Amino acid sequence: MATKARKQEIVSELREFFANGKVAIVTDLSGLTVAEITQFRRKLDKVDAKCRVAKNTLVKIATDGTDFGPIKELAAGPSAIIVGYDDPAQPAKTAVDFFKAIKKGEVRGGVIEGRAITAGDVKGLAELPSKDQLLSEIMGGLDSGARNIAGLLEAVIRDIALLTEEVAKKNDAA
């Protein structure tokens, strides 16, 4: 059993764990082997997310008064918390895909922008395109718009040049 000082140290570590997080996802890793959990953590590292297992009461204390406060509704039973620090969709996608592939574990729900979300919402979040994909689509749209404007301006200039040429020919003939 952890001493009071050790529990305070864990709460402090958990506060740092949640600091600067954009999304927290509560999962159940029951039935996973150590090798599978290690593999899962490595996948999360690639998408700037971390996984932590801690006592639910300590998680509740660490998140009390923060944007992740609603996590207390989800942290019941054996829980692992995933915190994403960049793109909120990537940790959700990684967790959902990993659990689907190994047919073990489950997503219970999560917290994003101070609101609790259901397991279905997390799965919906996982289906969203990544931040990089969205940015590239926006840039592609802006690029095509700029190309259309350039094409229109070129057509106007070309038409003015042709009109000027026709007027010049007509004046030469007269």
Q: At 29, is the secondary structure helix, strand, or coil?
A: coil
Q: Looking at the structure, tell me whether residues 114 and 166 fall in a common domain.
A: no
Residue 39: predicted pLDDT: 93
CATH code of residue 102: 3.30.70.1730
Q: Looking at the structure, tell me whether residues 16 and 29 fall in a common domain.
A: yes
Q: What is the reported pTM?
A: 0.71
Quote the CA–CA distance of 144 and 101 in Å, as a whole number: 38
Residue 47: predicted pLDDT: 92
Q: Looking at the structure, tell me whether residues 123 and 165 fall in a common domain.
A: no
Q: What does the pLDDT average to over 82-104?
A: 90
- Between 64-73, 142-151, 162-171, the lowest mean confidence (pLDDT) is in 142-151
More confident residue, 163 or 145: 163
Written as six digits, the tokens of 145 are 């718009």
Reported as a single tens digit per residue, the pLDDT across 46-73 is: 999 999 988 888 888 888 888 888 888 8
For residue 134, give every residue at least 6 positions away whose Cβ sits within 8 Å of its Cβ, in sequence order, or none.
Answer: none
Q: Looking at the structure, tell me whether residues 106 and 164 fall in a common domain.
A: no
How many folded domains does the chain comprise?
Answer: 2
Provide the b/e sequence for 14-45 (b: ≥16 CB within 10 Å): beebbeebbbbbbbbbeebeeeeeeebeebbe
Q: What does the pLDDT average to over 92-117?
A: 90
- Which regions of 29-87 does DSSP assign to beta strands (E)? 49-53, 80-84
The mean of the pLDDT values for the chain is 86
Q: Looking at the structure, tell me whether residues 151 and 111 fall in a common domain.
A: no
Q: Looking at the structure, tell me whether residues 75 and 151 fall in a common domain.
A: no
Q: Looking at the structure, tell me whether residues 30 and 82 fall in a common domain.
A: yes
Residue 140: predicted pLDDT: 76
Q: Looking at the structure, tell me whether residues 143 and 121 fall in a common domain.
A: no
User: Does 158 have pLDDT greater than 70?
Assistant: yes
Q: Looking at the structure, tell me whether residues 134 and 122 fall in a common domain.
A: no
Residue 174: predicted pLDDT: 66
Q: Looking at the structure, tell me whether residues 13 and 73 fall in a common domain.
A: yes
Q: Name the residue range of residue 79's domain.
A: 4-128
